[in-house]
Structure 1
């Protein structure tokens, strides 16, 4: 395990961009199949407008990309707080890597199978890691 506490954040940022690419490729492939032509689409369209137009399996990748821009923003901040306050320990690095691995598993599951009870369990485990990291960040920053 790398000693740098910021490494898990960098990996998750890269993973988020991979999911963006996967979502984009999948959507562009689906446009032709459902008869959408971007050249004739009305102005101001948004991704949410594709709900019910594109197949769910296509939209799931985009949903996950959106999820990776929500809770993980707290993860990035917590990593910075821990890093700057000397809170990089084996425990915090382990929890940070666990969070990243769980979020990647969550992404793959949501993008392919997407059964809510299992997806929620993966999300809950990742959230637990983040809560513990946040508590440890508060302790580290209060000194």
Structure 2
């Protein structure tokens, strides 16, 4: 059902937004599931996390990686959210935007999994860079569409 009368492409882009938001929520839950027990094991009072930078080096790497990834999901993906919504509002959603949106989301999922588990920096960097390539294509095409008469 599509009560807003959106095109199939616009709906697909909105679904990619929701999937990325769900990834962020999942990483937040994973962060709590790893950070809180790690703080207890380390004997740290919750007040020690008043400034999360103060926790650096006091928790196991596995807990820090998940928290770092959660923070990363509040950076570049916010640009994706804004641009994706703009594309839908402008009525500019098309198959290329859809493909790039899902590519961006898929690469961010892969980036999160790599960072939170094996944390191979070269692989993370490649996934990060490729996700930005997809996002830059979306941005450039959106600007062209928005500026076209």
Report the CA distance between 1:57 and its aligned residue. 1.2
Q: In the TM superposition, what whole-angstrom CA distance separates every residue of 1:78-116 from its partner, at most 9, and x where no partner exists?
A: 101211122111110011011001001100100011121
The runs of 5 or more residues in structure 2 that have no matched partner are: 1-7
Instruction: Please report the RMSD computed on the Cα atoms of aligned residues, expressed in angstroms.
Output: 1.4
Q: 2:86 aligns with which of 55, 73, 81?
A: 81
> Following superposition, which runs of at least 4 residues in structure 1 exceed 3 angstroms of deviation?
none
Aligned to 1:8: 16
Alpha-carbon distance in structure 2 between the residues aligned to 1:142 and 1:80: 17
Aligned to 2:143: 138
Alpha-carbon distance in structure 2 between the residues aligned to 1:139 and 1:84: 15
**TM-score, length basis structure 2:** 0.88
Aligned to 1:90: 95
The runs of 5 or more residues in structure 1 that have no matched partner are: none
Alpha-carbon distance in structure 1 between the residues aligned to 2:23 and 2:94: 24
**TM-score, length basis structure 1:** 0.91
